[in-house]
Amino acid sequence: MPRPRLFSDEQLLALIAARPNGAGAGELMRVLPKVSRASLTRGLRELKASGRILVEGRGPATRYRAAPGAMAAAPVVSAGATDEVVPLSEAARRARAYLRQPPAARRPTGYRREFLDGYQPNTTGYLPDRLRRKLRALGTTAAGRPAGTYARDILDRLLIDLSWASSRLEGNTYSILDTKRLIEEGVRADGRSADEATMILNHKRAIEFLVDNVAELGFSRTMVTNLHGCLAEGLLKDPAAVGAPRTTLVAIEGTPYVPPQEPQMIEELFGQLIAKAAAIEDPFEQSFFAMVQLPYLQPFLDINKRTSRLAANIPLVRENLVPLSFLDVTGRDYVDGILSVYELTDVALLRDIYEWAYERSATHYRAVKDSLGVPDPFRLRYRNELYAAVRAVVTGAAATPAKAVAAQNIPAVDRDALTGLVINEVHGLHDGNYGRFGLTPRQYQLWKASAGARR
């Protein structure tokens, strides 16, 4: 006789319905930690048999979505262990209780322009002074270093962590070990879609772009649109929508919120949002402002939340603060935080999640940094020149590493050492690491096919 389940059909359905992109069995196991896989499988089977969930994909890639109308009569999920991962303020609890109602029972709402208009940089504060001081104490690293230095110190780990965690929040089913193999070796996981691999590799490229250009671009329109361009490559049907404000209507699944739809208004609001963000002096306030206002506006056709998560790291990377990786944030918490902004223009829930997530990131990366030792100062000094020389060799702009180095303004005393680094990097190129040099897939494949790639 099967053991009684620790959850009802309605609770399981509510967990699935709370995820606009559906849920995999692994995600559900993480938010139901005391439930056996057999019990979960039985619950999913019963919901499928009753027509209340839809099943997509096969094997490890299987995802479950709430069927249309399935939540209409479902009761609110009571608070419990799955709600208590992040300590919540009373205001956040009220927001979450509202969101536990099915979408049909929540108030339809449109974009409230006064939410952006009323924000005055360095006067309005989503984060109280106490919290800003706490976050700065947690995130401060060595002072007096060039912008982006700390992120470069931990870049190999950050690429994996943030690419995996941000993709997971979009329903990506890659494990963190699968993500590591994809980024470092170019090996795709069995049973996963091409879109999932593309999503992760796009994150990698976007993070590299952020770290490489944050000192020059800061929080700017160019930075944000290029982050979107990196994240959206190959994932949008309309190439013109990549990195550009949207000109078409959008609807957001799982919420009665309707973002602005008129292209001229979107363009105007996007410009206003960027200007206000750029004027914010406190890095954590600027970071959180991006997490709130970018998804709320929905300036792009898709991939707005991913863009906001990377944009939230712009001021942190620029000021050599510990980055925010979202490693331990559950999909349910993140979606609730965003929905509370959409439907209530209330930042309390998302703020509690941000605070908790940053504490986790700060602890994690301090441990990572301690394990890495001291970075090579020579490599750090000539990082851009090294990357340019590798690109020149691979694309054929320079016949040899020595000539690629000689073409740059490098002091004679350092040329031989830099040439040695270029040689090592060129010999170490593979499918999983060429992107960090700014090489396109076609450039790399042409080089790989050449006699030079086999030397």
Residue 43's domain is classified under what CATH number? 1.10.10.10
Helix (H, G, I), strand (E, B) or coil at 259: coil
pLDDT in tens, 76-111: 333 333 445 799 999 999 999 999 888 888 999 999
The string of DSSP codes covering 20-45 is TT-B-HHHHHHHSTTS-HHHHHHHHH
- Based on the domain organization, do 360 and 238 belong to the same domain? yes
Is there a single domain that holds both residue 106 and residue 131?
Answer: yes
Q: Which of 75, 105, 127 is the last residue of a domain?
A: 75
pLDDT in tens, 298-309: 999 999 999 999
Q: Residue 437 domain-assigned?
A: yes
> What is the pTM for the complete model shown?
0.68
Total domain count for the chain? 3
Last residue of a domain, one of 316, 347, 372: 372
Establish if 295 belongs to a structural domain: yes
Domain membership of residue 104 as a residue range: 90-372
pLDDT in tens, 215-271: 999 999 999 999 999 999 999 989 899 999 999 998 898 899 999 999 999 999 999
End position of a domain, from candidates 319, 341, 372: 372
Q: Domain check: are 186 and 269 in the same one?
A: yes
Q: Judge whether 84 lies within some domain.
A: no
Task: Report yes or no on 39 lying in a domain.
Answer: yes
Same domain, 67 and 102: no
HSE-up (13 A, CA, CB side) for residue 150: 25
Sign of the Cα pseudo-torsion (135, 141, 147, 149, in order): negative
> Are the beta carbons of 112 and 260 closer than 8 angstroms?
no
Q: How far apart are the first and last CA of the chain?
A: 65
Alpha-carbon span 156 to 172, nearest angstrom: 20
Residues 14, 94 within the same domain: no
Same-domain check for residues 252 and 154: yes
Tell me the average pLDDT across 396-423: 88
Question: Would residue 25 count as lying in a domain?
Answer: yes
The whole-chain average pLDDT of the chain stands at 87
